[in-house]
């Protein structure tokens, strides 16, 4: 009897584990501290750009990119790859715009990044 | 973000999901599959392949597709098992293509079955002369069942009123050098008997045996790992190496 239960439990557990892995992006993108808080760094960079604190904004953009790398490692098995690549591109563009002090460009890129961030791990 | 790692993880998910789902779908043999079962298998396999390598979409929609197709297949199996009409409606019915020695052209046309197909499948059934066939039925899985005219049936022991012995399936006693004690017990024999029989056949230990089986007449077949073939037959027609 115990053996039969075990034999049935193996596939059920495996399937449950697979489902958990495939749907984990929404949970795994949540921050564990300030170093991987992508959403907070998006806001920080935007605020610094609007206040025209360009050096701080550039440092914030680097922290944002670093936070993204940490989160990307966790969510890569369950998030859509194209969204992840687009997010990375949006951050790179925002960083470029900060370097040339193009405030409008940064805000546009960050808005796109925010929309992508909301989509990653969401079922739509 | 590693593409290789993602593919590996998704391949593991696809592989084991497919393994579990095919196990759930049952033990139908390839030769017993209907055309629909065949297509179902291909589709499920193709979704699993996409799940592994199509990284433009998350694994989840592929996995849901895989699950839905498997569930639908399972539901169809259940419906056709419980409801004979549904079984006939979905799988179709066997088509009689030769009846009382006459080819049924109309039935063949309906089944889009050519005369060359008929001849080919008859040959597969060791029938090279149409005149020998009384009935030929095209089964729903595409195989042809052939009933020969009675004058072409092979003579059997019962035709000749000869005594016949019971013939069951043989039992594996040694597999890959390992004695299968469970099977030995089943045929009410022991390792001592096996060792004696093996020695009689020139084998000193069971570990030298690749396969040993016992048939219902009590005859032991033994194949050792070392095959002493004086002049081996080479079926290849190229010198190689491959």
Tens of pLDDT along B156-195? Answer: 888 888 888 888 889 999 999 999 999 999 999 999 999 9
Residue A87 tokens read as 């997010």
In the predicted structure, residue A123 carries a pLDDT above the cut 60: no
Per-residue pLDDT of B14-54, as tens digits, reads 999 999 998 888 766 565 677 778 888 899 999 999 999 99
* Residues A69 and A23: beta-carbon distance below 8 Å: no
DSSP strand pairing (B209-214 vs B220-224): antiparallel
Residues of B with Cβ-Cβ distance to A7 under 8 angstroms: none
- Interface ipTM: 0.78
In order of A21, B116, B131, the CA distances from B123 in angstroms are 53, 11, 13
φ, ψ for residue B171, nearest 5 deg: -115, 135
Using N-to-C axis directions, what is the helix angle for A81-99 and A54-75, rounded to 10°? 170
* Interface size between A and B, measured as CB pairs under 8 A: 46
Buried b (16+ CB within 10 A) or exposed e, A52-79: eebebbbebbebbbebbeebbebbbbbb
Residues of A with Cβ-Cβ distance to B60 under 8 angstroms: 22-23, 78, 123
Residues of A with Cβ-Cβ distance to B15 under 8 angstroms: none
Residue B173 tokens read as 């006693």
* Residues B173 and B214: beta-carbon distance below 8 Å: yes
CB contact under 8 A, A79 and B63: no
C-alpha to C-alpha distance for A113 and A124, rounded to whole angstroms: 17
In three-state secondary structure terms, A34 is: coil
Measured from the Cβ of residue B79, the count of other Cβ atoms closer than 10 Å reads 14
The pLDDT of residue B64 is: 94
CB contact under 8 A, B6 and A23: no
Among A7-16, A84-93, B32-41, B143-152, the least confident range = B32-41
Nearest-5° angle of CA A5, CA A9, CA A11? 135
In the predicted structure, residue B208 carries a pLDDT above the cut 60: yes
Tell me the residue length of chain A: 124
Burial class (CB in 10 A: 0-12, 13-18, 19+), B194: buried
> Partners of B133 in the beta sheet?
B148
Half-sphere exposure of B140 toward its Cβ, with a 13 Å CA cutoff? 14
Between B28 and B210, the higher pLDDT residue? B210
The pLDDT of residue B67 is: 94
Global pTM reads 0.69
Contacts of B21 by beta carbon, 8 Å cutoff, 6+ apart: B44, B66, B67, B70
Mean pLDDT value across chain A: 90
Between B45 and B232, the higher pLDDT residue? B45
Per-residue pLDDT of B106-115, as tens digits, reads 999 998 999 9
CB contact under 8 A, A23 and B63: no
Per-residue pLDDT of A44-82, as tens digits, reads 999 999 999 999 999 999 999 999 999 999 999 988 888
């Amino acid at each position: 009897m115990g053996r039969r239960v075990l034999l049935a439990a193996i596939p059920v557990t495996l399937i449950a584990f697979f489902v958990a892995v495939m749907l984990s992006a929404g949970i795994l993108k949540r921050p564990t501290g300030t170093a991987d808080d992508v959403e907070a760094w998006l806001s920080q960079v935007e605020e610094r750009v609007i206040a025209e604190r360009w050096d701080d904004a550039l440092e914030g953009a680097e922290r944002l990119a670093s936070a993204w790398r940490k989160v990307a490692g966790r969510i890569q098995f369950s998030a859509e790859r194209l969204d992840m690549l687009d997010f990375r591109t949006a951050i790179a563009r925002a960083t470029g715009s900060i370097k040339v002090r193009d405030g409008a460009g940064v805000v546009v890129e960050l808005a796109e990044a925010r929309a992508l961030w909301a989509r990653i791990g969401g079922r739509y | 973000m590693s593409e290789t790692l993602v593919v590996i993880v998704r391949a593991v998910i696809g592989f084991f999901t497919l393994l579990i789902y095919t196990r759930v779908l049952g033990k139908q043999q390839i030769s017993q599959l209907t055309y629909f079962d065949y297509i179902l298998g291909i589709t499920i396999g193709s979704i699993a392949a996409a799940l592994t390598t199509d990284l433009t979409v998350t694994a989840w929609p592929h996995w849901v597709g895989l699950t839905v197709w498997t569930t639908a297949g399972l539901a169809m199996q259940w419906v056709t098992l419980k409801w004979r009409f549904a079984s006939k409606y979905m799988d179709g019915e066997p088509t009689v293509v030769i009846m009382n020695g006459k080819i049924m052209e109309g039935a063949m046309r309906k089944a889009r079955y050519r005369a060359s197909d008929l001849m080919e499948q008859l040959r597969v059934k060791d029938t090279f002369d149409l005149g020998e066939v009384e009935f030929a039925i095209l089964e729903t899985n595409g195989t042809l069942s052939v009933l020969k005219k009675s004058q072409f049936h092979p003579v059997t022991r019962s035709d000749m009123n000869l005594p016949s012995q019971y013939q069951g399936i043989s039992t594996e006693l040694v597999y890959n050098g390992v004695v299968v004690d469970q099977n030995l017990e089943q045929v009410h024999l022991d390792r001592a008997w096996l060792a004696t029989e093996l020695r009689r056949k020139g084998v000193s230990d069971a570990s030298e045996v690749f396969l040993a089986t016992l048939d219902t007449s009590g005859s032991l077949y033994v194949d050792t790992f070392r095959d002493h073939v004086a002049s081996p037959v080479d079926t290849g027609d190229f010198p190689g190496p491959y």
